[in-house]
Amino acid sequence: MIAPGPGPSPLRQQVALAQPFIQWSYNAKHSYSRPVCAVRLSDLPKGFQAVVDAVEAAHDDDRIARRLRDLGFVAGETVRVVARAPMGGDPLLVQVGTTRFALRRSEAARVQTLEAGASA
Amino acid sequence: MNAQALRIALVGNPNCGKTALFNLLTGSRQKVANYAGVTVERKEGQLIAPSGRSYRLLDLPGAYSLDAASPDEAITRDVLAGRRDGEAKPDLIVCVVDATNLRLHLRFVLEVARLGRPMVLALNMMDAARRRGIEIDVAGLEKRLGVPVVETVAVRRGGAAALVERIDAMHNAYPAPPAANGDNDLHRQVRGLLEATVRVPAQASRVDEAIDRWALHPVFGLALLGAMMFLMFQAVFAWAQPLMDGIDAGVTALGAWIAGMLPAGSALHSLVQDGIFGGVGTVLVFLPQILILFLFILVLEESGYLPRAAFLLDRLMFKAGLTGRAFIPLLSSFACAIPGIMATRSIADPRDRLTTILVAPLMTCSARLPVYTLLIAAFIPHRTVLDVFNLQGVVLFVLYVAGIASAMAVAFVMKKLRRDKSEHALLMELPAYRVPHVRDVAYGLWQRVKIFLRRVGGIILALTVLLWFLSSFPSPPPGATGPAIDYSLAGMLGHALHHVFAPIGFNWQISVALIPGLAAREVAVSALGTVYAMSGSDTAVATHLGPLIAHQWPLATALSLLAWYVFAPQCMSTLAVIRRETNSWRNVALAAGYLFALAYLASLLTYQIASAFT
């Protein structure tokens, strides 16, 4: 199964190419703040917070997409990439609500998020 | 157990503390078995209320949703709906939630409530919730859900008293939740419930985050995992040794004592001493290793570390066609494949689980060590290579690596051959860290021991008696000069097998010794001793056997036998466990067949190449 969506390009590059007007700033807590864009959860850098827009099915009868929704990946929910595994950053550890899930990149790519915001 | 007793089913998300609650409610009155036809653990226990009334409590597998994604969840769904054959519909559902993780867990509660069955909600881990400053309006939640809501603390003595009291007071007049209000968006309902009844402080617990920053760190995390595994192996191999020696001596002495009461030289005497006690003893001797191994696994599991290890290694394992969750079962298999295969129950995806079970025997189990030690000491010169490495050590290391590499290759090939190529899900929750509770670890350990002992007492006992029979009958004719086994059915079989094994360099003595080695791999060493007409303890046999075979066998034969033991399909106990855990003879045949084919191929190559050079 090929992951839907863009490859593992870092958010920064991707956004810089697509929306060059976005201002990036590096805050005192060593993380970027105030980016506003649509990005897949799989491309969200570590430490970033975003709001789920939708979970997209990769194909008909996508059990993984259904399960993601059951686990709380639903519109309006805040998600954050807490950690990435060694060896290529896959899988990633995502916090949704008070729960943490390990998602493979192809799984996280189904989650479309909006408005990455500042995070601690 | 009273057949009229009311049936209560415990359900909840994984990591809600449901099993701890089950242990608290039922104590030692538990029965662990499998659901018919599948290898999902079925745990039933008896709950006796202070009123003296008793209830049948069923601990259903943890589930995130009734839209089942694994065999475990399918069982939960079917039992709750009364659709599972042989399982009566529960009279009451006790839905357990982790009070610190309500957003996730309440969604499942609402899903279960829609079944319209009598239900009680247990708000578990209330102690942790209070510590974090989470305030829950229990009365309000009860009113909105329309079912009784009770606070519990499963890890505290008496922590479920209120729950038992509530269940008992309503005896068989349980209210069913009101009909669904038509809003299909369960998440929206959960949000509504939380807003109305729960106050969560802005600053949640940061302890887990701090631990995870180190435990999941690409460098420190892997180093920590490595250190933990090193400690585990040290424990399994070093601490278990005195206990193993004790069991060995105990079983041998008991066998000799019982056999002493039987006429010496009779078949019955031999059956008791060599067949039953000798055979079962060789398997029973692994009990301390298995205990220590499971102690580590259970503590790591209870503390919440195990999914972290799976997270760290998932990529590596996934590339080989496995999953991060296969790591612990495979690691356990280095001690013995039996607990390793038993530990695959934590793998949710049935395809990943089968692959893990099939490659587990390729991990170099400790039973192979006696064989390796004998052959390496006899044939590999004690010499230093590259100034630092001991050649014998290097060969042993190569044998271990060969096992791991072939497991990876087999898993990879299985992945390519599999017809169902749909994506394997990881989607694994990393629960909050917890201090393991002694009672829950002890129960878990006791259940593993029971499974192991039942296996030793059942199929393994039957097989060892069969092997004893094959190696003892017919007895040698009067005046025979060769070893007794040579005249037995096993001897004849060995001689017949010699034709098969000649191309890979095995002489008839090895072929004969392989047959008793079916019981446990290291038995092959003492069997070789028997064939070469030696007696005494294993160590004594090995000391004398070494120089003898070094003198008699060509190097190519020894190397070929080493290659054979990397794959070594001939472990009956492993095959028996595969049968139990996969419920299929087909998988047993598959495992035995592919291991045999690989062993033969590897030995053939080794022998032919080595013969060409020596």
Over residues A91-118, the pLDDT tens digits come to 999 999 889 999 999 999 999 998 655 4
Q: What is the CATH number of domain A11-117?
A: 2.30.30.90
Cα–Cα dist B532/B373, whole Å: 18
Give the β-pairing of B149-151 and B119-124. Answer: parallel
User: What percentage of chain A's residues is helix, strand, coil (to nearest 5)?
Assistant: 20, 30, 50
Q: List the single residue in A83, A85, A100 with the smallest CB-CB distance to B314.
A: A85
Q: List the single residue in A82, A88, A97 with the smallest CB-CB distance to B315.
A: A88
Residue of A nearest to B13 (CA): A71
The total of other beta-carbon atoms located within 10 Å of residue B161's CB is: 14
CB of A120 within 8 Å of a chain B CB? The answer is: no
Please say if the pLDDT value at position B261 is more than 50.
Answer: yes
CB of A93 within 8 Å of a chain B CB? The answer is: yes
Cα–Cα dist B21/B59, whole Å: 9
Q: How far is A21 from chain B (nearest CA, A)?
A: 33
Q: Using the beta-carbon criterion (under 8 Å), do B425 and A74 form an inter-chain contact?
A: no
Q: Find the distance separating the first CA and the last CA of chain A, reported in whole Å.
A: 35
Is residue B93 within 8 Å of B117, Cβ to Cβ? yes
Residue of A nearest to B16 (CA): A99
The total of other beta-carbon atoms located within 10 Å of residue B278's CB is: 22
At residue B185, the 3 state secondary structure works out as coil
Cα–Cα dist B323/B316, whole Å: 8
Note the pLDDT of residue B353: 92
Q: List the single residue in A82, A99, A102 with the smallest CB-CB distance to B101.
A: A99
CB of B430 within 8 Å of a chain A CB? The answer is: yes
Phi, psi of A99 (to 5 degrees): -110, 145
CB of B420 within 8 Å of a chain A CB? The answer is: no
The total of other beta-carbon atoms located within 10 Å of residue A24's CB is: 11
* Mutation choice for A interface testing from B77, B104, B188, B225 by most A CBs within 10 A: B104
For chain A, the domains span 11-117
CB of A67 within 8 Å of a chain B CB? The answer is: yes
Q: Using the beta-carbon criterion (under 8 Å), do A91 and B314 form an inter-chain contact?
A: yes
Please say if the pLDDT value at position B179 is more than 80.
Answer: no
Q: Using the beta-carbon criterion (under 8 Å), do B312 and A86 form an inter-chain contact?
A: yes
CB of A61 within 8 Å of a chain B CB? The answer is: no
Note the pLDDT of residue B459: 64
Q: List the single residue in A69, A86, A102 with the smallest CB-CB distance to B428.
A: A102
Decide: residue B416, CB within 10 A, 0-12 exposed, 13-18 middle, 19+ buried: exposed
CB of B468 within 8 Å of a chain A CB? The answer is: no
B203 confidence band (pLDDT: 50, 70, 90): low
* Mutation choice for B interface testing from A66, A92, A100, A105 by most B CBs within 10 A: A100
Note the pLDDT of residue B112: 94
Residue numbers in A near B312 (CB within 8 A): 85-86
Cα–Cα dist B232/B294, whole Å: 10
Q: Using the beta-carbon criterion (under 8 Å), do B427 and A68 form an inter-chain contact?
A: yes
CB of B429 within 8 Å of a chain A CB? The answer is: yes
CB of B107 within 8 Å of a chain A CB? The answer is: yes
pTM, whole model, 2 decimals? 0.79
Bigger pLDDT: B288 vs B89: B89
Residue numbers in A near B212 (CB within 8 A): 82-83, 93, 100
Percentage of chain B modeled with pLDDT above 70: 92
Sequence-ordered alpha helix ranges (H) in B198-277 = 207-215, 220-234, 240-260, 267-270
Q: How far is CA B424 from the centre of its chain?
A: 21
Is residue A59 within 8 Å of B423, Cβ to Cβ? no
Q: How far is CA B159 from the centre of its chain?
A: 31
Q: What angle (nearest 5°) sits at the alpha carbon of residue B352, between those of residues B350 and B357?
A: 90
Residue numbers in B near A74 (CB within 8 A): 187
Q: Which of B24-38, B479-493, B514-528 has the highest mean pLDDT?
A: B24-38
A21 confidence band (pLDDT: 50, 70, 90): very low
Q: Using the beta-carbon criterion (under 8 Å), do A98 and B187 form an inter-chain contact?
A: no
CB of A70 within 8 Å of a chain B CB? The answer is: yes
Note the pLDDT of residue B230: 83
> How many Cα atoms occupy the beta-carbon half-sphere of B279 within 13 Å?
29
- Residue range B405-434: mean pLDDT, rounded: 88
Residue numbers in A near B222 (CB within 8 A): 86
Angle between helix B438-455 and B572-582 (nearest 10): 120
Please say if the pLDDT value at position A12 is more than 60.
Answer: no
Residue of B nearest to A92 (CA): B311
Q: What ipTM did this prediction achieve?
A: 0.79
Please say if the pLDDT value at position B523 is more than 80.
Answer: no
For chain B, the domains span 6-205, 456-613
Note the pLDDT of residue A2: 43
Q: What is the CATH number of domain B6-205?
A: 3.40.50.300
Q: Using the beta-carbon criterion (under 8 Å), do B425 and A107 form an inter-chain contact?
A: yes
Q: List the single residue in A90, A97, A101 with the smallest CB-CB distance to B430.
A: A101
B443-463: per-residue pLDDT in tens? 888 887 887 777 667 766 776
Question: Chain B, 245-304: which have a CB under 8 Å from a chain A CB?
Answer: none
Q: Using the beta-carbon criterion (under 8 Å), do B101 and A98 form an inter-chain contact?
A: yes
Q: Using the beta-carbon criterion (under 8 Å), do A102 and B427 form an inter-chain contact?
A: yes
B202 confidence band (pLDDT: 50, 70, 90): low
User: What percentage of chain B's residues is helix, strand, coil (to nearest 5)?
Assistant: 60, 10, 30
Note the pLDDT of residue A14: 45
Residue numbers in B near A99 (CB within 8 A): 101, 103-104, 429
Q: List the single residue in A69, A90, A100 with the smallest CB-CB distance to B315.
A: A90
